[in-house]
Each structure stands twice: as structure tokens, then as C-alpha cells.
Structure 1
């Protein structure tokens, strides 16, 4: 019988897989909420409730506020707000797996930008091929919304900025950086949601419970599990497993929303995943060579 407690690496991989399933399932739940509430409302509520939950988990009141570098926090929060809203705008018009694939070009681009190796052109070529394959050959079967593609790519750009901003020293721990960033993102999106028409029946118990579930699935649970998993995972293992997110998103859309992709779109997902896995591997190998010198 498999004993996960005696195999911390396997346990960490299992927790990270649960985190990915939780995050991508939240996308399916968000698409269901779009049928009843404006996208801005769903996006703002997700960030607000996630920020409150993480504030309680990581005891935000213990922060030494005089040490906070607010410029880093603000840039991080703005990127988070843009990534969240633009991704929701994208999945309101695109199947979940396709939207995540387009968005995933953002972090992949960051990895390729910092990588300077002979295999880089292979990963760039695979990523471009994956994008081409995402467009259905049989347009009568399924047409992709051009505006939704723009939203997904813009969300990916915000994801890239989110990664870069998150690496800047903020004066507090990574946990508190995420929490404060979510509050900044909420401060950006909530006024827009209120101005565009914020339905008060969001706070009715029958509806509020779904928003709480969205906050837990989208942020609190996956973020907490990722923090635990990272203690027993190398950067290579973490990056490689995170690369399968587009496929997890596609499966979530299929199971919960009945979204079906064409054969070439499944091939596109596998191509983009391959590019991400390859880029992760060669980048980590290069870092190890530099460290050993």
C-alpha cells in the first residue's frame, strides 16, 4: 500500500495536482456565475473574498507596514486585477481549455525571454505551432471569437507582469504580498463593478455561498496547497507539473460545462504543454550549470 507520508515528493505532487484541479474548476464555476451576474461583479467578488480569506490564514495584522514597498505591491496588484478580469472576459466567450492555452503564452514568454540556450528556438517554434493549431480548421464546427482571443492574450500579458512584479522585493513575505496584492486588485475592480451596476442579491445566502466557493477554489485552496507543495519540490518539478494546466482546464470544461474541443485543439494543448515542459527543463539545467561553476 502506498504511504504518501513516507514519500514527501509524491505527496507534494499530489497536492499540486489538487491545487490545479481546484483552480481550473473555479473557472467552470465562474462561467456558471456569468449567467446570473456581470463579469465585473464576479471578478471583483473573487478577489475581495480571496483577499479576506488569505488575510485570515496568513494573519495580515502581523505585517510590519512600515517595511512595505508599496510600489512593488501596487504593480503586483494591478497585474493581478488585469489578469483576473481579462481571463474572465475570455472564458465567457471561449472554451476554458483554449482560453488557458492562449493565456499560458504569457508565462511561457517570460521563461523564454530569460532563457538563452540553443534549444530556445525549438520551444518558441512549438509555442507558435500550438497557437496556430488552436484555430479550428473546420470553421463550421466551431468559430473562435477574435475579441475573446485578444482578452486571453492580454490576460497572459498580465500574467507575465504578475510574475515579474511578484519577483520584486516587497518588504513582506510572499504570502503577504499575494494577500495585499489581492486587496489592491479589489480596490481597482470593485469601484468599476459598482459603477457598472453591482447587483445586491450577490449577498443573499443562496448566492453568496457560490462566491465563497469561487474564492476558495480560485485562490485560498490552490495557493495554500502550492505553498505546502513547494517545500518538497524542485523548481523543475513544480514548473513541469504546472505546464499541464491547459489540459486540466480543458478537462474541467468538458466535465463541468460540456465543452468539447476539436482534435487539432487538443493537439495544440499538447504542443503548448510540450513547449512549456521543455523550456522549464532546459532553463533549470542552465541554472544548475551556472550554480555549479
Structure 2
């Protein structure tokens, strides 16, 4: 679980190093291609057997998956890794709150709301577009969770997720090709983008599968709530992105709200 969280955030930070050359769109395109190749190889979906209803879910998940990663990476480019990932985690928190106990849900929602108000408080350097992108990524992640649950009930194993990753990679093929053609990527930038795809897609997938064989799903969900803290620390160490004490406090509160809510929803 530690490896999954660290790899995911390390991949995002390494991908951010390629932003000056490829931009968020170019990095996300490469990441989607890596994810598609890995998931199609692991899931081996029987595409011809899908019904029209199943294909609608797959297409919806593919669009949400692509939009989630693009808005997250665009937010990282504008407001930094720690704040972007923290805002994105409001998505799974919202889904968990919807199924948590009433008292726990209310308290966690109030705490998270207060923390978000601290994060987005007006300052001379506040990037409202970056905040909006982070919140959009959160909404996409909530939809991603709900669609994955629906697909899991309609398709066996990883077939639905693999098909969605393949469609998302295909959608990014033309725009990614244009970006790479216009930007004239350097070998180092391409290597960073590929590393982002491996670390943020391949390693977490394998690590999560191994972890879920050994720990209960609710414990796994609780532990994943430390991702905003991992993101803030890696953003500091790799990207030299410094946060003020209030932002650190807000990140801790949101991670705690995720932990409490996920622990109650089991």
C-alpha cells in the first residue's frame, strides 16, 4: 500500500518535470497510452461480446478517465502537486460521505469543507483556474468510482476497466500525436512522461492487486487517504513546491476526514 501511494505521487511529480516541454496534455497522452497497453494486456477484454449497454458504460468511463487525468495534471501545473491531489481527493470523500453514517458524515463533511475553504482562501497568488481544475478532477474521480462499480457488476474481472483504458488511449492518440509533433519532445521529456505512466498506472495497479489479497478493502481505502500527504511531501522534495502551514493543516484535515469516513463505511 505504501508502494502504491508513493509510486502514484512520484509518477505525477516526474510527469510534471516534462510539462515545460510536453505540457500537461502531452504527458497525460503518454500516460493514457501506457495505461491502455498494460490494462488491455492484463484484462484481455472480449470486446465483440459487449452489449450496447455495456459499451455505453465503457465509453462513459473512458471519457471520465481521460478527463480526470487531464484536469489533475493541468491543476498540478498551476497549483502544485500537493494542493491538486488534495482537491482531487474530495471526489472519493464525497462518494464515501454519501454512504457513511449520518453523524460521521456530517462531521467529516464539515471538517473537509472548512479545510477546502482554507485551501482556496483568497490571496494575491491564488490561482482560481487551478483550483477549478482540481475540483473538476474531484468530480471526475467520483464519477470514475461510481462507473467502475457499475461496470464491475456488468462485466467480469478487469474487462470493463481495460476496455475503458483502451478507448481512452485511443481518444488521446490524435491529440497526443499533434502535441508531440508540435513540441518536438526531448528524450528526457519522453522518458519522464513514460515514467509517469509506469509509476502512476502500472505500479499502483499491480501493488493494489497484491495488497487487496492481504488486507480488507476498508483498510485499503483508509490507507489511501494518506495520498494527499504523500503528494505534498513529494511535491516539496521533487518539485520544490512549498506550502504554508495553513495549507499543510488543511491537507491533514482532508486526509483525516477521508480516513474517518472510509473507516466508518465498511
TM-score (norm 2): 0.91
Q: How does 1:98-117 map to 2 (within 5 A)?
A: 98-117=83-102
1:41-71 Cα offsets, whole Å, 9 max, x none, are 1111110122113333x162x6364146211
Q: Within 2, Cα distance between the matches of 1:135 and 1:50?
A: 32
**Aligned match of 1:169 in 146, 151, 162?**
151
Q: 3-state DSSP class of the match of 1:218?
A: helix
**Aligned match of 1:220 in 199, 202, 210?**
202
Q: Within 1, Cα distance between the matches of 2:157 and 2:250?
A: 33
Q: 3-state DSSP class of the match of 1:272?
A: helix
1:123·1:279 contact (CA, 8 Å) conserved in 2? Answer: yes
Question: Displacement of 1:136 after TM fit?
Answer: 6.0
**Aligned match of 2:226 in 233, 240, 244?**
244
Q: Within 2, Cα distance between the matches of 1:209 and 1:273?
A: 31
Q: Whose helix fraction is larger, Structure 1's or Structure 2's? A: 2
| Structure 2: gaps of 5 or more residues | none
1:208-241 Cα offsets, whole Å, 9 max, x none, are 4333222110101111110110111112211110
Q: Alignment RMSD, CA only?
A: 2.1
**Aligned match of 2:171 in 182, 188, 205?**
188
1:61-108 Cα offsets, whole Å, 9 max, x none, are x63641462112111111100101000110000121111111111111
Q: 3-state DSSP class of the match of 1:38?
A: helix
Could you say which structure has the larger radius of gyration? 1
1:40 is aligned to 2:21: no
Aligned length: 263
The residue number in structure 2 matching 1:255 is: 237
Q: Within 2, Cα distance between the matches of 1:273 and 1:158?
A: 19
**Aligned match of 1:52 in 24, 37, 60?**
37
- TM-aligned CA distance change 1:195 to 1:64, over 3 Å: closer
1:283 is aligned to 2:265: yes
- TM-aligned CA distance change 1:108 to 1:84, over 3 Å: same
* Runs of at least 4 residues off by over 6 Å: none
The residue number in structure 1 matching 2:134 is: 152
**Aligned match of 1:80 in 61, 65, 71?**
65
- TM-aligned CA distance change 1:39 to 1:231, over 3 Å: same
1:136·1:262 contact (CA, 8 Å) conserved in 2? Answer: no
The residue number in structure 2 matching 1:6 is: none
Question: Displacement of 1:179 after TM fit?
Answer: 2.2
Q: Within 2, Cα distance between the matches of 1:156 and 1:198?
A: 31
Q: Within 2, Cα distance between the matches of 1:269 and 1:128?
A: 12
Q: How does 1:64-75 map to 2 (within 5 A)?
A: 65-67=48-50, 69-75=54-60
| Structure 1: gaps of 5 or more residues | 1-15, 285-293
The residue number in structure 1 matching 2:10 is: 25
The residue number in structure 2 matching 1:267 is: 249
Question: Displacement of 1:190 after TM fit?
Answer: 3.0
